[in-house]
Amino acid sequence: MSDLRITEAFLYMDYLILKATKMDDYEEMMEMKHQDLTGSLMCFRALCCKGPPPARPEYDLVCIGLTGSGKTSLLSKLCSESPENVVSTTGFSIKAVPFQNAILNVKELGGADNIRKYWSRYYQGSQGVIFVLDSASSEDDLETARNELHSALQHPQLCTLPFLILANHQDKPAARSVQEVKKYFELEPLARGKRWILQPCSLDDMDALKDSFSQLINLLEEKDHEAVRM
């Protein structure tokens, strides 16, 4: 074979190798572009097509306690309402109290003598109970509060529900401690087997108050999960 033919053969082989190399580079480039495009599309979907966040669960609660226990003030503070506009509830009122993981629709019932006998008419549909007591009240009022709490804990429409019991006015000098309230109200024997939380509170310590409600929300969620399993 002549030198010219050999040279042509080598040149043709180089051309084939170069062509194959370019094809590999082209396919690799297209694959990289595809990956970049896929990543950009996923990022776009995450940012722009995520949709609204899931709705927070809502729970219907009833809030009871004697007049002067501080129910209205506590709920108003949780709703970021001005304390100057707080008026003691004479009949009932409803507030939507927002939290990060739930919304509590609280039906607050007035605590006067002539209203308490009608409390049970408003219990239906409740998923939890908030009972507020004045930890600095007189012995007579504390006795009345204990009787009302005992009645609520044993009521057919409330006895299986989570209870948040707030020993309010802890900032007052005459306030009784949580342990004193627990013993006086005989909560251990009476509420055995029930879901209940007893917490101290005052308007001066909103962090502690919000933490108490967070514990109540946990109990409400647990009850929801049990209902689903059943």
Which amino acids are annotated as binding site for GTP, given as ranges? 65-72, 111, 168-171
Instruction: Tell me the binding residues.
Output: 65-72, 89, 111, 168-171
CA distance 105 to 79: 11
- Structure tokens given for 29: 């480039």
Backbone angles phi, psi at 33, to 5 degrees: -65, -40
CA 125 to chain centre: 19
DSSP tag of 155: -
- CA 207, 212, 213, 214: dihedral to nearest 10 degrees? 80
Is 162:220 a contact under the CB 8 Å cutoff?
Answer: yes
Instruction: Tell me the binding residues for Mg(2+).
Output: 72, 89
Collapsed DSSP state (helix, strand, coil) of residue 3: helix
Q: Taking the alpha carbons of 87, 88, 91, 92 in that order, is the dihedral positive or negative?
A: positive
Helix ranges restricted to H, 49-90: 71-78
